[in-house]
């Protein structure tokens, strides 16, 4: 030992120690990617068991994988006992207890930021876990979390996982009605919320929305309310309690138990509601073990995370991206994750660049819609912002157009940062197709190659596999042959719906609902949904859901909703509505008033995120003789097509098409 080190060591501040977390499964070259991929499809069970060895298990699994896609039945790491929070928190304490786990940047730039070290986060999670217990929450209970992007949201999520309660986070943009539907579906008896949430210049009254949601639902035992905005709230005696008070009680009594519930690898970890092509949103269920392994594996490989880096994912924790790449992926990898409360354009369009500059962010992961919206502000907001810390950029949620890709590459990454285009879904738990930053090739607007363990194929309408002849690029519906660890296990309370939705279209395959191209190198480009699901600003919305909401308005007779290309949102919502309200006072005002009434109804039923961009009032809809609405024609009209509407001869009343085209907005 160097005899001087004794004198040198004390001068090094403790927090600067960053003991590298080792990720022996981090792929470091294209060749290794290829051999790893090969190995993963030859022996999926053996491959993922090898990865799972790197986590903390209380008891090892006896069967790595059991599956069939007919029921479907997928089980990973059966017999394994664990708790995901021990992997996200406890196992880091010895080596990186003083390292920042979460850096939180508030909505108001002048408010103090907060940092929670791994030790502090662990402490708060254990404390809130005790609060949940004290309030009656037990393993397996569903807890609805409806909060803004504050550290307490992360704490609430992890505390649920700690005691084995199933969290169901609901995005703050959903209405009371949507929350109520989700509470009923999940049979949730507990809610964690805030008085309100800051979003740019707005202040969203979360607790009041919860109170509205609870008017028709009496299954609630406890609502825990965290103070954030100091918006006035009603606190019902016997039902509502304050987060702060409950935490203090636990702190004062010294009753916090660090114990984490022992979970079976296949026990549900969370439910996340997402839209499909029919009916109400469904509760996608993820299991503890497989989700943990896959979220971690993809975080480490796609972003090529290195110890000490600061990872900034701009998603909201109300969506799957926030679950996997703000919380579980980064924390299980001992990373520093940055959580941001605000919006990209407030107080100005330089907000993201300011944050990157302020914290020396290394990895920046956002949505194409945000990039396109910021592009619209030109280069001025980037001026004077030091983005030199950036090493990796990423996008998610919708196809990225080449123009936005190049703008991102040139202006944000300064042409020195690999961009990962990550394709995945709420149902997949983690990225399934993406380049690995700086390791496998990128191709603008192509998600490129599958992650290890992901066996893709393209099929035609009849489910026949499409194969390329020579170097041609082929198109088809994107399906998956075999399970990866974080595939959804079921849709909550309705397994048949899960089978119908994902495994019945093409028997024996998981169908993604997306169309894709594959080129001669095996690279994939996602072309968009082929079902009746829209992707608006990266948010999934079913056309049927929006139609149901519009149809709830008293004067509406019928409606049809389709998507249309939107320069910033990717897709916009176009609604064709038959309105009849001769005695309705608003019908005697302007059509705008009727349109606003309809918007108001959609906001009430689903939330502001589902508001149509265009509402065209029509006297009829194009229908076949059997009464089916011909959406294909409406889609073309909404897209601005004036000829080539396809065959209209089978229409009941071909004249209606002409009228609709004349009135196009």
Q: Which residues bind ligand WTA (CB under 6 A)?
A: 274, 319-321, 396-399, 421-426, 447, 512-514, 526, 529, 535, 540
Q: Give 326 or 556: the residue with its C-beta nearer to ligand WTA.
A: 326
Determine the Cα–Cα distance for residues 321 and 339; give it in Å rounded to an integer: 12
- Please report the beta strands in 69-181, taking only residues with DSSP state E, as ranges in sequence order: 73-78, 81-82, 100-105, 114-117, 142-146, 166-169
Distance (Å, whole) CA 263 – CA 268: 9
Nearest distance from residue 524's CB to ligand WTA, in Å?
A: 9
Are residues 633 and 627 in contact, defined by beta-carbon separation less than 8 angstroms? no
Rg (CA), the chain: 25
Task: Give min distance, CB of 442 to ligand WTA, in A.
Answer: 12
CA–CA separation, 261 and 229 (whole Å) = 33
- Residue 578 Cβ vs ligand WTA, minimum distance, rounded to whole Å: 30
Q: Which is nearer to ligand WTA, 321 or 332 (CB)?
A: 321
The secondary structure element, H or E, covering residue 179 is helix 176-186
527 versus 596: smaller Cβ distance to ligand WTA: 527
Q: Give least dist CB 102 to ligand WTA, A.
A: 21
- Rounded to a whole number of angstroms, the distance between the first and last alpha carbons of the chain is 78
Strand partners, 74: 67
Nearer to ligand WTA, 513 or 622 (CB): 513
- CA dihedral of 408, 414, 419, 425, whole degrees rounded to 10: -30
Q: Which is nearer to ligand WTA, 77 or 405 (CB)?
A: 405
Give me the phi and psi of 266, to 5 degrees please. -90, 0
Q: How far apart are CA 443 and CA 402, in angstroms?
A: 10
Nearer to ligand WTA, 266 or 514 (CB): 514
DSSP state letter for 410: I
**In whole angstroms, how close is the CB of 421 to ligand WTA at the nearest point?**
5
Q: How far is the CB of 351 from ligand WTA (least distance, A)?
A: 22
| Residue 221, Cβ density class (10 Å: 0-12 exposed, 13-18 middle, ≥19 buried) | middle
Minimum distance from CB of 19 to ligand WTA (Å)?
32
Q: Choose between 373 and 535: whose C-beta lies nearer to ligand WTA.
A: 535
**Minimum distance from CB of 522 to ligand WTA (Å)?**
17
The string of DSSP letters for 481-535 reads SS--TTS--EETT-HHHHIIIIITTTTTSEEEEEEEEE-TTS-EEEEEESSSEEE
**Tokens coding 506:** 């093409």
Taking the least distance from each CB to ligand WTA, the nearer of 130 and 512 is 512
Report the distance separating Cα 134 and Cα 222, nearest Å: 11
Q: Judged by CB, which is closer to ligand WTA: 198, or 423?
A: 423
CB atoms within 10 A of CB 5: 8
Q: Which is nearer to ligand WTA, 368 or 483 (CB)?
A: 368
**Residue 321 or residue 491: which is nearer to ligand WTA going by CB?**
321
Min CB(512)–ligand WTA separation in Å:
6
Shortest distance, position 284 Cβ to ligand WTA, whole Å: 8
> Phi-psi bin for 277: left (phi > 0), alpha (psi -120 to 50), beta?
alpha
Shortest approach of ligand WTA to residue 450 CB, angstroms? 13
By beta-carbon proximity to ligand WTA, the closer residue of 526 and 633 is 526
Asked whether the beta carbons of 93 and 122 are under 8 A apart, the reply is yes
Strand runs labelled E in 184-227 = 190-194, 197-199, 202-204, 222-226
If DSSP codes are grouped into helix, strand and coil, which group holds residue 573? strand
Residues 6+ apart with CB under 8 A from 156: 128, 143, 145, 147, 167, 192
H helices within 382-536, ranges in order? 402-407, 495-498
| H/E segment holding residue 150 | none
Alpha-helical runs (H) found in 254-317? 288-302
Shortest distance in whole angstroms from residue 355 CB to ligand WTA = 22
Pairwise CA distance, residues 579 & 561, whole Å: 14
CB of 500: closest distance to ligand WTA in angstroms? 17
* Residue 545 CA: distances (Å) to CA of 295, 328, 557, 622: 30, 30, 16, 20
Tokens (6 digits) for 5: 């080190």
Separation CA 154–CA 322 (nearest Å): 10
Q: Which is nearer to ligand WTA, 242 or 407 (CB)?
A: 407
Residue 560 CB neighbours (<10 A): 24
Half-sphere exposure of 523 (CA within 13 A, CB side): 18
Nearer to ligand WTA by Cβ, of 83 and 296: the residue is 296
In angstroms, what is the minimal distance from the CB of 513 to ligand WTA? Answer: 6
Return the number of the residue (452 or 622) whose C-beta is nearest ligand WTA. 452
Rounded to the nearest whole angstrom, what is the least distance from the CB of residue 232 to ligand WTA in the complex?
34
| Sign of the four-CA dihedral 144, 150, 155, 158 | positive
């Amino acid at each position: 030992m160097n005899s001087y080190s004794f004198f040198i060591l004390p001068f090094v501040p403790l927090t600067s120690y960053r003991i590298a977390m080792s990720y022996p499964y981090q792929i470091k070259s294209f060749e290794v990617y290829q051999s790893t991929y090969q190995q993963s499809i030859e022996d999926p069970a053996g491959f993922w068991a090898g990865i799972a060895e790197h986590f903390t298990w209380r008891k090892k699994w006896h069967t790595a994988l059991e599956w069939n896609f007919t029921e479907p039945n997928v089980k990973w790491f059966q017999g394994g006992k664990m708790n995901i929070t021990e992997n996200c928190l406890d196992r880091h304490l010895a080596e990186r207890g003083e390292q920042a786990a979460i850096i939180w940047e508030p909505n108001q730039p002048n408010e103090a930021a907060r940092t929670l070290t791994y030790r502090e986060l662990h402490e708060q999670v254990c404390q809130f876990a005790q609060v949940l217990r004290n309030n009656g929450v037990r393993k397996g209970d569903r807890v609805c979390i409806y909060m803004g992007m504050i550290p307490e949201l992360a704490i609430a999520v992890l505390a649920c996982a700690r005691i084995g309660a199933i969290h169901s986070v609901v995005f703050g943009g959903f209405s009371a009605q949507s929350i109520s539907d989700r509470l009923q579906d999940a049979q949730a008896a507990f809610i964690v919320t805030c008085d309100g949430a800051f979003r740019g210049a707005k202040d969203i009254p979360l607790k009041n929305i919860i109170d509205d949601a609870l008017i028709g639902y009496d299954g609630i035992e406890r609502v825990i309310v965290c103070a954030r905005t100091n918006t006035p709230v009603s606190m019902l005696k016997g039902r509502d309690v304050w987060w702060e008070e409950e935490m203090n009680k636990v702190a004062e009594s010294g009753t916090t138990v660090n114990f984490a519930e022992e979970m079976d690898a296949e026990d549900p970890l969370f439910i996340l509601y997402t839209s499909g092509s029919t009916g109400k949103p469904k509760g996608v269920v993820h299991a503890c073990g497989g989700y943990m392994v896959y979220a971690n594996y993809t975080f480490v490989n796609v972003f090529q995370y290195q110890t000490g880096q600061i990872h900034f994912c701009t998603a909201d924790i109300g969506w799957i991206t926030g679950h996997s790449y703000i919380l579980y992926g980064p924390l299980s990898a001992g990373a520093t994750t940055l959580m941001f409360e605000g919006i990209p354009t407030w107080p100005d369009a330089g907000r993201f660049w300011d944050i990157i500059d302020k914290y020396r962010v290394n990895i920046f992961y956002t949505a194409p819609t945000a990039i396109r919206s910021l592009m619209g502000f030109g280069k001025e907001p980037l001026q004077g912002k030091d983005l030199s810390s950036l090493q990796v950029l990423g996008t998610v949620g919708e196809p990225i157009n080449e123009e936005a890709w190049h703008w991102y590459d040139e202006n944000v990454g300064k042409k020195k940062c690999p961009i990962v285009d990550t394709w995945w879904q709420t149902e997949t738990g983690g990225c399934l197709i993406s380049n690995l930053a700086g390791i496998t090739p990128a191709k603008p607007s192509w998600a490129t190659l599958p992650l290890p363990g992901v066996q893709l194929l393209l099929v035609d309408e009849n489910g026949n596999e499409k194969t390329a002849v020579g170097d041609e690029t082929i198109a088809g519906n994107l399906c998956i042959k075999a399970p990866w660890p974080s595939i959804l296990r079921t849709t909550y309370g309705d397994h048949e719906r899960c089978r119908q939705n994902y495994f019945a279209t093409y028997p024996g395959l998981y169908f993604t609902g997306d169309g894709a191209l594959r080129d001669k190198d095996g690279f994939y480009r996602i072309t968009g949904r082929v079902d009746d699901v829209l992707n608006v600003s990266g948010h999934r919305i079913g056309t049927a859901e929006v139609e149901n909401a519009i149809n709830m308005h008293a004067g509406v007779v019928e409606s049809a909703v389709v998507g249309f290309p939107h320069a910033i949102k990717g897709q916009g919502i176009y609604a064709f509505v038959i309105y009849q309200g001769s005695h309705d006072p608003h019908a005697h005002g302007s059509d705008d008033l009727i349109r606003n009434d309809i918007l108001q109804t959609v906001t009430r039923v689903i939330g502001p995120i589902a508001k149509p961009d265009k509402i065209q009032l029509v006297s009829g809809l194009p229908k076949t003789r059997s009464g089916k609405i011909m959406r294909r024609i409406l889609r073309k009209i909404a897209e601005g097509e004036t000829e080539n509407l396809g065959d209209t001869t089978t229409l009941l009343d071909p004249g209606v098409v002409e009228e609709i085209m004349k009135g196009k907005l």
